[in-house]
Structure 1
Amino acid sequence: MNEPAKEPRPGTGPVAYVPRKITGPVLMGVVPGQPLAVAHRAAELAYSLDVKLICAYVDVTTYLAEEPDGRIEARPIDPDGIDDDIEGIAAAIRERLQDALDGTGIDWSFATLSGEPARALGRLAESTDASVIVVGTRERGLGARLEEVLVGSVAVHLTHRQHRPVLVVPLAPHTRHPRQEGHH
């Protein structure tokens, strides 16, 4: 037996795994005030894979409802609730991403989704055939508890609800949004 031990013989054993090129976009979940580190990691991944980057903001104050004519529409959970300027929030996030990503050569887009974040991101990942979903960890500190109640751990929910890989970008506990400085 002078045959090399590691070389498989043709026609024997199971078919070898052949990796396929990743072509689906990178889908990034965005939350207001999120450090740009998450966008930077997602952009680097999209750039490295040579795929599109989809940045999605999930508006947790709305839910999806089917109209009698079959159209799906976003409706406010509490129409008389806090009059948050959701369109303004989404526009501000889009503008911040534009400043960070325009001119980088990355093909990116922005979407505003409704409902529970993990489900909304999962649906978009499915419809766009995303290759990976990128999310940031929650920051500790101001507003973290409220965010936790609203959002839960999106990364954990995503890993239980769909089959795509989820990349969690850790945010350092000391990282603070500039507006939060001085408020302990």
Structure 2
Amino acid sequence: MIPKPNPPRPVIVGVAPGQPPRVVEQAADFALRFGTELVCAFVDQARLPLSEGADGSVTSASIDPDLADDAGEVFDARLALELEHILKDSGVSWRTLVLAGEVSAALGRLAERIDASMIVVGTHEHSVGGSIQEFFNRSVATHLAHRQTRPVVVIPARTPGSESPLPRRDA
């Protein structure tokens, strides 16, 4: 008896305002090559996850008890528009999700829930006066690499001639 092939497992890409487009482009390339969906996940660190759906969706609450709203569960419209611009000609099926909590933990939980094939993240921009040790202490990629059983692909933030970053929320 010939075993049935396993269904394609999605590729997750962590997205954030100000991120270079090449991170999403590279993640889309992986998803296209694997013949699977791309899940663009933004993690709102000002919210706590309350429950998680089978599709990766998250119900969350504000860390600040005085802010009782569901705004954190709505994907930022400007970021979604930029993703649409980046992915429009990619040929890949994609969707967005808003997660909550600490970034590497949220991406890891999502990867487990949807059985992702990999997690793609970008590196941080180097800050003036920031040391290499500080960079690695706060790196989402480093935290994921220590906690994950699946591949974590890290896309450098800058390369010579790289495009402008995704728009920041405060812009």
TM bucket (normalised to shorter chain) is 0.7 to 0.9
Radius of gyration: which is bigger? 1
Secondary structure of the structure 2 residue equivalent to 1:104: coil
Counterpart residue number, 2:48: 63
Q: Distance in 1 between matches of 2:73 and 2:7?
A: 33
Q: Distance in 2 between matches of 1:24 and 1:166?
A: 14
The change in CA–CA distance for 1:22 and 1:169 in structure 2 (over 3 A counts) is farther
Percent identity of the aligned residues? Answer: 40
Q: Distance in 2 between matches of 1:73 and 1:36?
A: 28
Secondary structure of the structure 1 residue equivalent to 2:76: helix
Query: Paired residue for 2:149, among 163, 167, 173?
Result: 163
Q: Distance in 2 between matches of 1:44 and 1:173?
A: 18
Give a deviation string over 1:78-131, Cα, whole Å, max 9, x none: 2458xxx75787221111101111243211111000111111101111111100
Structure 1: give runs of 5+ residues left out of the alignment: 1-19, 67-71
**2:93 counterpart of 1:104:** no
Question: Is the CA contact (8 Å cut-off) linking 1:139 and 1:173 kept in structure 2?
Answer: no
Give a deviation string over 1:107-163, Cα, whole Å, max 9, x none: 111100011111110111111110010000001248x99xx89x9211111111120
Q: With structure 1 as the length reference, what TM-score do the two structures score? A: 0.68
Q: Distance in 1 between matches of 2:17 and 2:127?
A: 15
Q: Distance in 1 between matches of 2:166 and 2:118?
A: 29
Kindly state the Cα deviation for residue 40 of structure 1 after the two structures are TM-superposed. 0.6
Kindly state the Cα deviation for residue 60 of structure 1 after the two structures are TM-superposed. 0.7
- How many residue pairs align between the two structures? 149
Shift >3 Å, 4+ stretches: 85-89, 173-180
Counterpart residue number, 1:128: 114
Q: With structure 2 as the length reference, what TM-score do the two structures score? A: 0.73
Question: Is the CA contact (8 Å cut-off) linking 2:59 and 2:73 kept in structure 1?
Answer: no
Question: Is the CA contact (8 Å cut-off) linking 1:25 and 1:52 kept in structure 2?
Answer: yes
Kindly state the Cα deviation for residue 171 of structure 1 after the two structures are TM-superposed. 1.4
Kindly state the Cα deviation for residue 75 of structure 1 after the two structures are TM-superposed. 1.1
